[in-house]
Structure 1
Amino acid sequence: MTGPTAADFPIRWAWEDGPLTPGLTCVFRVKDEARNLPWVLPPMFDAVQHVVLVDNGSTDGTPEVAQRVAEEHGAADRFTLRHYPVQVARAGSEHLLTPPDDPRSLTYFYNWSFSHVRTAYSMKWDGDMVLTAEGVELLRDLSWQLEDSSAVVAIPRHPMSVESESVAWLDLGYRFLEPWVYPMGPEFTFVKAFEWEVREFPPTSERIVAPEGMCVELKWLDQDEFAHWSETTFDPVRTPRKHRELEVMRALHEGRGHEIEGLKRIEAPAGVHVVDYVTTQWMQLEPRPLTLRLELQETT
């Protein structure tokens, strides 16, 4: 039996049909993120003009949860749900061995997902990343300030390992920085890199770096955070972010979180979920700078 072909999932960019609508669209590519979406989607609907969510074969009801949250938030008219029922190569060696024009490639999957954007700017976002109150305000402002600028925006994120409803560990040992917001156009598509896909942009593009405290990346200690990787041996030089994440996860599972420099234990007040506490209260009150060390940026 042959696998899916490009003809099954054709890519046609909106810019081929004329000028794009002003605004910012957030694109999620998700699989089994039902647990996170009630935290992830509401602030994003408050922050951007449109949300595209592409489900990649979830078995936990992710599409249904996403649609319900959109309707409950009064944002159903600004929400596009698409399905990509293809077994996509996992990051790492599987991705490296998969041609970029194969629908099973992360590169093709991302380009297909972003081809559903109809606004002038788009933002890559993950199904486990929660905007803080500050993050919502930042993106609201950016959505009109970026128009016609050709700038790309890097947003620091803070990994947060959730131990229970009241306790989490926030990694403030490094500044995890990655470009997330880009203009839409032929110079800003995804290409293949060694471990994963990379979005291209011209060297002349202005690079804006958002302040810290914009979002937290949820990591649940009762889940396998590396299931989408074909291996879990990470080079501390080539892939320092994943190396750090694995170090933190192992320490927490072994009860050694206090031994990791920059890893902060946070306990929420009674009756408040720790995700809500960190994103709506704690992050706003904590003095800046949040992180202790130089930023981690991976180039592949």
Structure 2
Amino acid sequence: MSTAVAGAISPGWLELREDADAGARAADLLGPLRAHLAGRAARPLVVRDLGCGTGSMGRWLAGRLPGPQHWVLYDHDPALLALAAARLPGRTADGGAVTAEAHRRDIARLRAADLAGTSLVTASALLDLLTGPEVTGLAQACAGAGCPALLVLSVVGRVELTPADPLDGPIAEAFNAHQRRSRGTPVPVTLPRPTSRKLGPDAVDAAAEAFARAGMVVHRRPSPWRLGPAQAALTAEWLRGWVRYAVEQRPALAVPAGPYLRRRLRQCAAGELRAVIGHEDLLALPAGG
């Protein structure tokens, strides 16, 4: 769950962030996506949601696409898969039926043949947990199957906190380095090579290049979280994870990080802290379609 507490995926955290995710996603990417899908004769739409968590992407997207739809959900956690399947909306905005099936499967091994008949591949807060070869493989699979990909809420390494603090920069730099570390902690989907290096905040650039090399047309949009007093609980939880992993990456920060975190949490509780946490959304469409 790239944005904050990498490796500590829980239904509670996913619930806490759902409204912020929904408000941040770049809805204007849906225009070209819907135009592409309108040219498809096959129905229902088949949507593959990679690392689905509790299904927030489906709850946000299903009603914004034409129905009927069949969602294929992937995650490593059977409890999350059950939640996601149960909480998908039953109908789209135009009355189409929405159905679902759930799979515990290694998404890094998806190939074009696995995506045959797929209308859309989507994922939220996943790209930055993947390695370069995994992102290249995903791009090649989508291009080979001729299906678009909507990959949203990938961190880009930019954090703006108001009021500013001298430790903001060092904490951000250390956290970003942690995001690029070799993968040794649990992630939302089962992936091989646990020691391979994650892309972290470089993921959107790498994905854009990989999809373009595969012959697809890439659209990118910023999708930052904008957190204020109304999101204090989310901001506080994000802060704890942000600082924790910065210190894990750079232990020399441990002494100043304790007072820093307490200071920031007090500001958060008092409604004085605002945060803009950078993400980016990417839509890749088959060329000419």
Task: Give me the TM-score of the superposition, normalised by structure 2.
Answer: 0.34
Structure with a larger share of its residues in helix:
2
Structure with a larger share of its residues in strand:
1
Task: Give me the TM-score of the superposition, normalised by structure 1.
Answer: 0.33
Higher relative contact order (CA 8 A, sep 6+): 2
